[in-house]
A and B are shown apart, each in its own frame.
Chain A
Amino acid sequence: MKRKLEISDGNDYLKYLTKEKDIADQIINHSRSMITIINREYIYEKVNSTFCNAHQVVLDTILGKSMGDVWGHDTFQNIIKRNVDICFSGKTVQYEATFYTPQSGKRHFEVVFRPLSIEPGKITHLLAETFDIDDLKTSKQAVIEKEEELRKFESNLPIGFLRCDPTGKILHANQAFLMIADCHDDMLVNSMNLKSFYLEEELFDLQIEQLTESHTKNFGRVSLKNCSGKEVPCRISGFLALNGSGAPAYIDFAVEDCSRELMLENRLLQAQKLETIGSLAGGIAHDFNNILATISGYSEMLQEDLPKNSDLSDKVSKILGAVKKAQSITNQILTFSRHVEQEKVLINVSEVLKETIGFVKSSIPSNIVLKSRIPKMSANVLADPTQLFRVFLNLMTNAIQAMEEEGGTLSVNIAVVEKEFVQHELNKDIVADEYVLLTFKDTGEGMEPSLIGRIFEPFFTTREVGKGTGLGLSVIHGIITEMEGEILVSSKKQEGSVFLVYLPVSKSYSIINEKKNSSRKKILFITGNKYESRILSLALESAGYELVFISDGRNFVKVMTNVRERPDMVIYMIDSKQITPEDLVGIFRSQKILTPCILITDPTQEISDEKLLNSGIISQQLTKPVSLKEIRNAIQELLR
């Protein structure tokens, strides 16, 4: 409603003006802002009561004071002056700063300077309005901090978090989801639909439907495929939010990568399966050994009854040979099912590995490169070195066979790793502070994912029927498990396989050191293959024996004829080329040597050992592979 102005003379007009000025003053003085007018000398010409109150002064004392006097000269020079000068150049200036006032101390203010022209055509003054925005600022800051905290929380969360529109189009994705998606361009992810990550897109539509009904739902495990095409098993749950009118507004998804969990679950399942097969196979092997004992017993009796070297006696020999073969299989099964006791000594893994590599190198096909880096390191484990040799040999032979046709590279490495690393990789009970980690990597044909889980099962083989028993890897698994170690495999078709072997490092004192005294028994080794026999010698040296190697006949005669040098025992490996069985028998007979002699035969080689066995110089016969326990038992028995 407009006020009607009734003015009859100058007096009335003056009254009217005074009244209007009063009203204006009231408004200005009651404003919550400090309002002032400042001239070009930075002197206050007008101030409102809010300004006076803030500085706890009366009006008369402040007028004529400079801005520097009021706010302090430093504050004036550093903050105020340049803004004032800009304003006098004709621009409205707005800025925020912290000022001190006697009324409320240090507070945050917003300041607006507006140019004023009291004389026409000239900026003579400026109008300053100063608002206390401290509370606003504090609450704004709090909001920003809260937001930042939430953002951090969300991005640090190990669970993928997504906000999508009701159709599944991604509006926002956190860092963890970008990791799962294997896409580091969040702009790209934010333009995609979550559906496109689903392996089965219909499943996503179904889940959206379910969310529309129940609003929040845990979908369990769902397979996603990420930007690089890799399948990632995820646990997904969703929450659908409604808008004011009850229509779907957005959907939040939590996406958790459960590949590690799944991997560990699978591994556990695998271990349980192997355990079951193991006890089953162990039972069968036990029964088989009874049957084999019966067969061999009757065969031996039969052989006694038959004339020597007769046709029938030869046939019985064949039966006994078959029994031996069958026994080696039952032994392997028992090793896999860990029904066989391993005799263990403290042994440096890298030494056994070096010997095995030497052994393999001597017969490696020319199209395969063997790369190995075996640093001098102390990596002592409690093991039967002959079995470790078997493990390494088998893994390398498998790798070579996988590359036989196309050629490739076999890399063998050894390292010592901390238990924390092992804990993370294996997620099993840790039995040592450090582990030896051996890596056998080939570039061969690789394996189908469905096969990887089964390779440690006994009798599982990818080779054609008749080639190998399929017991190799299961036996290795048994040996390593018995050592409280672990064997892991990863493989990709056409790219190759990697076998990782973890063995707990033993800190026990070496038995060798304790037994280094003069009473050590001397054993003479006659062998063709230096690597293989070195493994046995590592084992026996660890067990406290003194080993002497002989590879040529002349030395052998010299050692055997010298009473001082003569060993306490001779171990003869049938593969020795330099000293034939005839040489051995000859020397023993001519020198009338009574030293006990152990013969080690190789069932895979057709070398006749009959003459040697009938010569009467052999005290005991062992068949390869010989375990430390077997050879030690034999030695102990003979040296008693």
Chain B
Amino acid sequence: MPGVLIVEDDKELREMLKMSLIRRNFTVIEAENGKDAITHFKPFITDLVVTDLIMPEEDGLKVVIKLRELKPSIKIIAISGGGKVGPGSYLNLAKALGADAIYSKPFSINDLIAKIEQLLDNEQHN
């Protein structure tokens, strides 16, 4: 089954994401901040990453840049509860840096999973 890495510092939210993905038979890998995600990144078993943006240690933007570098084919979804860098929002910045989709919190988990499936589906077809 495709592997999804969840990078989220909020434990409850991470648990929820994990449970919802396991229900759909995804393999789930967790990281509680950006630094963790980058240092323990396993490119061979990770097909998609769902990352929060504002986190302690390395933030999500770094995750987007670094993981894209480590595995160019990886699919990235950024999620955020708001916040701005300069005139633009973190989410838009993440998109500009290469995230395939962005969601602002709170989001519909069904929408998110549909998106994950769609992104991985396209991957298989390609």
Task: Please indicate the chain B residues that have their CB under 8 angstroms from the CB of A282 in the complex.
Answer: 82-83
Task: Please indicate the chain B residues that have their CB under 8 angstroms from the CB of A169 in the complex.
Answer: none
A378 CA to B96 CA, complexed, in Å:
34
Contact (Cβ within 8 A) B84 A340: yes
Nearest Cβ distance between residue A52 and chain B, in whole angstroms?
94
Task: Please indicate the chain A residues that have their CB under 8 angstroms from the CB of B104 in the complex.
Answer: 289
Q: Which of A282, A297, A339, A340 has the most CB of B within 10 A?
A: A297
Contact (Cβ within 8 A) A286 B110: no
Contact (Cβ within 8 A) A297 B20: yes
Is A607 an interface residue when CB atoms closer than 8 A count as contact?
no
Is B45 an interface residue when CB atoms closer than 8 A count as contact?
no
| Cβ-closest chain A residue relative to B89 | A341
When each residue 52-83 of chain B gets 1 if its CB lies under 8 Å from chain A and 0 otherwise, what string results? 00100000000000000000000000010111
| Cβ-closest chain A residue relative to B93 | A341
Interface residues of B in 24-45 (CB under 8 A from A): none
Contact (Cβ within 8 A) B109 A286: no
When each residue 82-111 of chain B gets 1 if its CB lies under 8 Å from chain A and 0 otherwise, what string results? 111001110010000000000011111110
A293 CA to B109 CA, complexed, in Å:
8
The DSSP consensus for interface residues of chain B is: mixed
Task: Please indicate the chain B residues that have their CB under 8 angstroms from the CB of A341 in the complex.
Answer: 84, 87-89, 92
Task: Please indicate the chain B residues that have their CB under 8 angstroms from the CB of A295 in the complex.
Answer: 106
Task: Please indicate the chain B residues that have their CB under 8 angstroms from the CB of A334 in the complex.
Answer: 82
Contact (Cβ within 8 A) B13 A300: no
A341 CA to B92 CA, complexed, in Å:
9
A340 CA to B81 CA, complexed, in Å:
10
Number of interface residues of B (CB under 8 A): 26
A286 CA to B83 CA, complexed, in Å:
8
Contact (Cβ within 8 A) A286 B81: yes
A323 CA to B10 CA, complexed, in Å:
18
Contact (Cβ within 8 A) B110 A300: yes
Interface residues of A in 83-112 (CB under 8 A from B): none
Contact (Cβ within 8 A) B19 A296: no
Contact (Cβ within 8 A) B84 A289: no
Contact (Cβ within 8 A) A297 B13: yes
Is B23 an interface residue when CB atoms closer than 8 A count as contact?
yes
Interface residues of A in 308-342 (CB under 8 A from B): 323, 327, 330, 334, 338-341
- If A296-B109, A301-B109 touch, whether A291 touches B84 (CB-CB below 8 Å) is no
Q: Which of B82, B84, B88 has the most CB of A within 10 A?
A: B82
A82 CA to B64 CA, complexed, in Å:
107
Contact (Cβ within 8 A) B106 A293: yes
Contact (Cβ within 8 A) B106 A339: no
- If A296-B109, A297-B20, A301-B23 touch, whether A290 touches B83 (CB-CB below 8 Å) is no
Task: Please indicate the chain B residues that have their CB under 8 angstroms from the CB of A201 in the complex.
Answer: none
Contact (Cβ within 8 A) B89 A293: no
Contact (Cβ within 8 A) B106 A338: no
Is A47 an interface residue when CB atoms closer than 8 A count as contact?
no
A282 CA to B19 CA, complexed, in Å:
29
The DSSP consensus for interface residues of chain A is: helix
Is A287 an interface residue when CB atoms closer than 8 A count as contact?
yes
Q: Which of B15, B17, B79, B82 contacts A285 (CB 8 A)?
A: B82
Is A292 an interface residue when CB atoms closer than 8 A count as contact?
yes
Contact (Cβ within 8 A) B10 A294: yes
| Cβ-closest chain B residue relative to A620 | B111
Q: Which of B20, B81, B84 contacts A290 (CB 8 A)?
A: B81
Task: Please indicate the chain A residues that have their CB under 8 angstroms from the CB of B12 in the complex.
Answer: 290-291, 294
Contact (Cβ within 8 A) B84 A300: no
| Cβ-closest chain B residue relative to A296 | B106
| Cβ-closest chain B residue relative to A289 | B81
Is A16 an interface residue when CB atoms closer than 8 A count as contact?
no
A338 CA to B79 CA, complexed, in Å:
19
Contact (Cβ within 8 A) A293 B88: no
- If A282-B83, A334-B82 touch, whether A289 touches B16 (CB-CB below 8 Å) is no
A289 CA to B82 CA, complexed, in Å:
8
Is A298 an interface residue when CB atoms closer than 8 A count as contact?
yes
Nearest Cβ distance between residue A276 and chain B, in whole angstroms?
17
Task: Please indicate the chain B residues that have their CB under 8 angstroms from the CB of A285 in the complex.
Answer: 81-82
Contact (Cβ within 8 A) A292 B84: no
- If A294-B10, A297-B13, A297-B109 touch, whether A287 touches B84 (CB-CB below 8 Å) is no
Task: Please indicate the chain A residues that have their CB under 8 angstroms from the CB of B87 in the complex.
Answer: 341
Contact (Cβ within 8 A) B92 A289: no
Contact (Cβ within 8 A) A297 B17: yes
Task: Please indicate the chain A residues that have their CB under 8 angstroms from the CB of B20 in the complex.
Answer: 297, 300-301
Contact (Cβ within 8 A) A292 B88: no
Contact (Cβ within 8 A) B106 A323: yes
Contact (Cβ within 8 A) B109 A300: yes
Contact (Cβ within 8 A) A287 B81: yes
When each residue 21-37 of chain A gets 1 if its CB lies under 8 Å from chain B and 0 otherwise, what string results? 00000000000000000
Task: Please indicate the chain A residues that have their CB under 8 angstroms from the CB of B82 in the complex.
Answer: 282, 285-286, 289, 330, 334, 339-340
B residues bordering A, Cβ < 8 Å? Answer: 10, 12-13, 15-17, 19-20, 23, 54, 79, 81-84, 87-89, 92, 104-110
Q: Which 10 pairs, one residue from A and one from B, show the smallest C-beta to C-beta distance?
A: A289-B81, A292-B106, A341-B89, A289-B105, A293-B106, A297-B109, A293-B105, A297-B16, A290-B10, A286-B81
Given known contacts A294-B16, A296-B108, what 15 new A-B pairs fall within 8 Å (CB)? A285-B81, A286-B83, A289-B106, A291-B12, A293-B105, A294-B15, A297-B20, A300-B20, A301-B23, A301-B109, A327-B106, A338-B84, A339-B84, A340-B89, A341-B88
30 A-B contact pairs sorted by A residue (CB < 8 Å): A285-B82, A286-B54, A286-B81, A286-B83, A287-B10, A287-B81, A289-B81, A289-B82, A289-B106, A290-B13, A290-B81, A292-B105, A293-B16, A293-B81, A293-B105, A294-B13, A297-B17, A300-B109, A301-B19, A301-B20, A301-B23, A304-B110, A327-B106, A330-B81, A330-B82, A334-B82, A339-B82, A339-B89, A341-B87, A341-B89
